Amino acid sequence: MIFEDLKKYQFILASKSPRRQFLLKDLGLDFEVHTKDVDESFSDDLKAQEIPLYLCKKKADAFDGELNENTIVITADTIVWINGEVLNKPENYEDSVRMLKLLSGKMHEVYTGVCIKSKNKSKTFHSLTKVYFKTLNDSEIEYYIKNFHPYDKAGSYGAQEWIGYIAVERIEGSYFNVMGLPLRELYEQLLDF
């Protein structure tokens, strides 16, 4: 483990996302995956970063009363934000096509909210990355959806997949944030926690 001061802690990643699990493992943390069924609805009054901040805190609060002195739970939620609209995970093929057409040729924002919680304290933070997409044609969108099934991804795409290779012109901010976990920020927050 790379953080000597954190060896005394047991970490729980409350996420089924294989990408978050992969990233946290590569950061050097030993952790267990433990998730709770949490209602992920939110008020229409919430905008941009307020949405993932609210949801990651809600996911962490589901562990109230279960954490001991040396357990830290990490929760996260990622959204895509464009033209004042949130793009969560697509509901079906048609919704996936709609989202990718909306992103095509434009800049969108990816927000990830992260909550770090122990028995006695809690800290939430967010990361913002701006992603610029080239204009996609219908056959590129169809190929991506049919071959990569991006139904578990906010905005209906994974930057680490084929669509990221051909569509992302540039990003401003953390690439890992677009994958669902802003590693540099998480590392610094854990050291400070």
Q: Tell me, what's the pLDDT at 7?
A: 76
Going from the C-alpha of 53 to that of each of 29, 105, 114, 144, the distances in angstroms are: 23, 28, 7, 30
> Which residues on neighbouring strands pair with residue 108, listed in sequence order?
131
Assigned token pair, 155: 């905005």
Would you list the domain boundaries of the chain? 4-192
Q: Output b/e per residue, 123-143; b: 16+ Cβ within 10 A.
A: ebbbbbbebebeebeeebbee
CATH topology of domain 4-192: Maf protein (3.90.950)
Q: Tell me, what's the pLDDT at 94?
A: 97
- Closest-CA residue to 193 (of 9, 15, 1, 14): 9
Q: Tell me, what's the pLDDT at 2?
A: 53
Catalytic residues: 77
Q: Tell me, what's the pLDDT at 1?
A: 45
Q: Report d(CA 182, CA 193) in Å as an integer.
A: 16
Q: Tell me, what's the pLDDT at 81?
A: 98
pLDDT along the chain (193 residues), means of 10: 72 94 90 94 95 97 92 96 95 97 98 96 97 98 97 94 96 96 94 87
Contact criterion met (CB below 8 Å) for 12 and 34:
yes
Q: Is the dihedral of CA 49, 50, 55, 56 positive or negative?
A: positive
Cα torsion through 110, 178, 77, 81, rounded to 10: 20
